[in-house]
Amino acid sequence: MSALTCNMVGHSAFGDASVLSVMPLTLSAPAAGQIRMTVKAVSINPIDYKRREGKLKLIEGPQVMPLGICHDAAGVVESVGEGVTEFKVGDRVATRKRGVGTYAEATLTGADVSAKIPDSVSFAHAAALPLAGMTALQALRAADLKAGETVFISGGAGGVGHYAVQLAKHYFKAGKVVATCSGSKAALCKSLGADEVVDYTAVPHGTQYAGRGKFDVVMDTVGDSAAMCVLGKPHRNVVSVVNLDLPMAPNATFVVRAFLMAMGAPVHFAAWRAGTTYQFVRLTPNAADLAFLLGLLDNKTIVSTLDTTFHGLAACQDAFNKAEHGRPAGKVVIEI
């Protein structure tokens, strides 16, 4: 197996979407446990533009430029490394790569964070799923949501939120799902499984949670956990995938850990006052959860909602501007 020369989207400086450009990429042969895949579709997640802006420098330390971008991809296995038995050349696969660089014509990724795409699922719909879908699944699991219970989800039309609403209703079989979103996305949220939708833009901040009763599970995808703790039943679970908190960087320096603990203090205090249990959930990418979710796409338990589909590497700036500033409903995907 030899090196592969192709093109990727990357950046040589931190900044807004204008720092992105198409640049050459040389990929080595896949190492043990890796696959090399031809990328057919990629999706954008907020971590991609936070990292491009340099917002993760404190947590991740100095970076070697140029950097690739994006973690999610769907495509076709082009070669496999030693020890990989679950995939063969030609398989359709989706992945949530650990490092950056899926927005490219080809990428290397771990077999342990990849799964086969069922025939009924398109590359675009599969590419939308890995990071956001696994985060939604793992957060609701961590919150111990049970059949018949009530759940309140903020940001129910976002990338993570739209999978969370569907999983809560159709997989965990929640009795009642209430979600926040801006008014124009209420119909989408309801079609995905929300029993009630709260337009957070129609009322002053904080009042969207008042008088709504108590929920078995509260899931925050927008960074509003301290205010949302009032919604939690005593001794039940509030989970956040957003708030700055220690589990974001468990191996960081003492100073960074102290900063994260200080940032997390208000929500821990709010949870204590409300008598709820609070935890920050950080995605753990893995093949089993990804395969499970692709199965739910296959049997139509959930759908990937695609707001906009762009085409090609050259669309990188437009695609990122849409994802960051275009208030998409669901996901922004690029077909390569």
Ligand X SMILES: NC(=O)c1ccc[n+]([C@@H]2O[C@H](COP(=O)([O-])OP(=O)(O)OC[C@H]3O[C@@H](n4cnc5c(N)ncnc54)[C@H](OP(=O)(O)O)[C@@H]3O)[C@@H](O)[C@H]2O)c1
Which residues does 202 contact at the CB level (< 8 Å), separation at least 6? Answer: 183
Question: At which residue do the structure tokens 């590359």 appear?
Answer: 123
The answer to whether residue 42 forms part of the interface with ligand X (CB under 6 A) is: no
Helix extents (H) in the chain: 46-52, 57-60, 123-128, 130-142, 159-166, 186-192, 225-228, 254-274, 287-298, 316-325
Answer yes or no: are the C-beta atoms of 34 and 109 closer than 8 Å. yes
Reported as half-sphere exposure (CB side, CA atoms, 13 A), residue 99 has a value of 10
**Rounded to the nearest whole angstrom, what is the least distance from the CB of residue 182 to ligand X in the complex?**
3
Site string for ligand X, 315-334 (x = CB under 6 A): ------------x-------
Which residues does 85 contact at the CB level (< 8 Å), separation at least 6? Answer: none
Q: List the interface residues with ligand X, window 230-289 (CB under 6 A).
A: 241-242, 281-283
The answer to whether residue 102 forms part of the interface with ligand X (CB under 6 A) is: no
In this chain, which residue has its C-beta nearest to ligand X? Answer: 158
Which residues does 13 contact at the CB level (< 8 Å), separation at least 6? Answer: 19, 65
The piece of 29-37, 43-51, 72-80, 106-114 that touches ligand X (CB under 6 A) is: 43-51
Answer yes or no: are the C-beta atoms of 155 and 231 closer than 8 Å. no
Q: Which of 323, 302, 143, 147 is nearest to 228 (CA)?
A: 143
**Rounded to the nearest whole angstrom, what is the least distance from the CB of residue 305 to ligand X in the complex?**
10
Residue of 159, 193, 232, 264 interacting with ligand X (CB under 6 A)? 159
Residue of 37, 104, 108, 131 interacting with ligand X (CB under 6 A)? 131
The answer to whether residue 158 forms part of the interface with ligand X (CB under 6 A) is: yes
The piece of 73-81, 154-162, 251-259, 262-270 that touches ligand X (CB under 6 A) is: 154-162
Reported as half-sphere exposure (CB side, CA atoms, 13 A), residue 320 has a value of 25
**Rounded to the nearest whole angstrom, what is the least distance from the CB of residue 183 to ligand X in the complex?**
8
Residue of 152, 200, 310, 320 interacting with ligand X (CB under 6 A)? 200
Parallel, antiparallel, or unpaired for β 92-96 and 72-80?
A: antiparallel
The piece of 24-32, 95-103, 177-185, 297-305 that touches ligand X (CB under 6 A) is: 177-185
Q: Which is nearer to ligand X, 40 or 96 (CB)?
A: 96
Q: How many residues does the chain have?
A: 336
The answer to whether residue 192 forms part of the interface with ligand X (CB under 6 A) is: no
Taking the C-alpha atoms of residue 16 and residue 138, their distance in angstroms, rounded to an integer, is 30
Residue 53: strand, helix, or coil: coil
Q: Which is nearer to ligand X, 114 or 305 (CB)?
A: 305
Q: Which is nearer to ligand X, 51 or 92 (CB)?
A: 51
Q: For residue 262, which amino acid is it?
A: A
Question: Which residues of the chain form contacts with ligand X (CB under 6 A)?
Answer: 45-47, 131-132, 135, 154-155, 157-161, 180-182, 185, 200, 221-222, 224, 241-242, 281-283, 327
